[in-house]
Structure 1
């Protein structure tokens, strides 16, 4: 549960379809909850205050960011999920280049300041594997920014340059968490400062992360008083818990973390008492580590990667289908953010739900 799994598709179960194929529809990301028009932008940012920690010879730290936001209506076409080149770098196939999202590239943002949610992916995972969650949050009225952490996964930069994962073989996971927190804080500086690409409410900010991105979300909140709430999607913490605790809201949403074993519960149990603000521990017993990402619906559409060892399948995927995985992830993350950033109570966080029987409230 510590780090995500790099997927590699030998071949898709069905061919990807180009968006403009006559008489045929492109494969789509799961439809957002509302019909709010959405926009998306891609940012290339350079943090001139520090060298790249994984490749100092590269110069200053470079980051790629995807924005999703409520937009003014537009007749332009919807943005692709990812380029053929990045799909090949990530998966060994261009299968995802035919997938279309629900956001229009470059659409004008609706002229209202929005609560800001930053998304951090799992290790070896692209920021784009959080697209279904990002688009859904934008459809609910949030400004959303997902960032890649360069050299921790293949990342595509302007001009088609793709930087590989340099530290995948021997990662220092403690250092990964600390460095990601710096990446996120730099992004917050950019999005809350003059010349921001989005109108955001600087007084309502949350960070949500999957796997080690979840640990990084909590660490960023510990370091940065601008962050009001954090969500950890099935990520171990890695760093020692803060001695004085963390007195701000944290949601822990995991898979198979209710079993009475050290591997399932130990890391979260050790950190639980150090989370001294509002907190909740939810578990999806039939889920897997990938449940909270785009991977389940991608697998449903294109098939499970043949290269994944059979012994890893239960822990990574569980038995939950893509539609349910996407629905429950969106519902519980949104309920938490609505509660903490907008002051809207939700029974989802307080008692079992007949709408989502897959989710257990552990604490």
Structure 2
């Protein structure tokens, strides 16, 4: 593992308590399994000026592109079959889940992005408590079973960081479940109880990937069972994730025969992956076209080159050369809205965000993930996955 100076450790600790701190911490964790993109060419974008959220469209996550109204619910689940691996004294494994789904009607009770309390615990500020989503809290689901997509966030990241993608997929007719992996980031439970990250100081990333696969399998048991909260089509299931959540998505595809396809959004794989995967996989990363750290398995290009050979089914490798590690989450939009913390190192901006701002990051992530899922869960092909698109010149097709 790469050694860091005392000054660097203090800088990382401080940034954890600033807006986008968790995102930047993930992007800077060069010794960890989550992907860290190489420095983008060209100047980094200037941080947006800090703003104070008010009431209005400016404080709402970008609107979904689909035609269906979106509802949302929150689940508190307990896996009574296993103790929590990161905090055994806590008892059985507890998980929090956000559901997004096609709703019968669009209401006027748009759910908050997160509570002020969780925003404070995650970022050191309450700003995100003023952001609204596009989903109606507690709306009745539209009839008929839908294909299911499970979302897994990056290490240290809240499941809320994938809200823009989750809402968009629901508006296109998917049932979506975003899962928090407890003790890997601050997680809020009913009643306002917040559990902190227990393993952030000494994470074992191969163990994290293996355990996340178990979390996902348990969630699938709950969602596909006879008492599930939504009508889902258990014959059409995909898992998608960001950073280590992406590696975990492919691990779940390997481990669980119910999972039909997986999306890895810029996540490095553990040194010894689970084995060959003969199912559809989309790898979508940033700044992965060149080897920047020769001989290192944590080099973004080298890491995916090694695992590419184990993916023996349908596969694509897409790259966003001007993007960054956080391009595929809500972070670029949030940074556009609120600004980066004062004193953010330029290299952190380059690695984390590249030179793309929120609207393009959101649009291309939604378009390519949606095209992949449409193809493999609905049988609807898309040229986006087969050749370069003039609509998205930022995206390069590296391998297929």
TM range (shorter): over 0.9
Q: Distance in 2 between matches of 1:275 and 1:73?
A: 41
Provide the residue aligned with 1:8 in structure 2: 18
Provide the residue aligned with 2:263 in structure 1: 231
The TM-score, its normalising length taken from structure 1, stands at 0.94
Shift of the alpha carbon at 1:194? 1.5
1:1-363 matches, cutoff 5 A? 8-9=18-19, 13-18=50-55, 24-25=56-57, 27-243=59-275, 245-261=276-292, 262=294, 263-306=299-342, 308-363=344-399
Structure 1 vs Structure 2 CA RMSD: 1.6
Q: 100-109 vs 300-309, which deviates more?
A: 300-309
Partner deviation per Cα, 1:10-29 (whole Å, 9 max, x = no partner): 998111124xxxxx556100
- Please, which runs of 5 or more residues in structure 2 have no aligned partner? 1-14, 22-48
- Please, which runs of 5 or more residues in structure 1 have no aligned partner? 19-23
Q: Distance in 1 between matches of 2:74 and 2:361?
A: 26
* Shift in alpha-carbon separation, 1:279–1:7, aligned structure 2, 3 A: farther
Shift of the alpha carbon at 1:310? 2.8
Shift of the alpha carbon at 1:31? 0.5
* Shift in alpha-carbon separation, 1:66–1:307, aligned structure 2, 3 A: farther
Shift of the alpha carbon at 1:34? 2.2
Instruction: Indicate conservation of the 8 Å contact 2:322/2:354, yes or no.
Output: yes
Q: Distance in 2 between matches of 1:222 and 1:81?
A: 32
Shift of the alpha carbon at 1:239? 4.7
Q: Distance in 1 between matches of 2:308 and 2:344?
A: 32
By relative contact order (CA 8 Å, sep 6+), the higher-ranking structure is 2
Shift of the alpha carbon at 1:259? 1.3
Instruction: Indicate conservation of the 8 Å contact 2:70/2:106, yes or no.
Output: no
Q: Distance in 2 between matches of 1:121 and 1:347?
A: 28
What SS does the corresponding residue of 2:327 show, helix, strand or coil?
Answer: helix
What SS does the corresponding residue of 1:330 show, helix, strand or coil?
Answer: helix
* Shift in alpha-carbon separation, 1:345–1:35, aligned structure 2, 3 A: closer
What SS does the corresponding residue of 1:289 show, helix, strand or coil?
Answer: coil
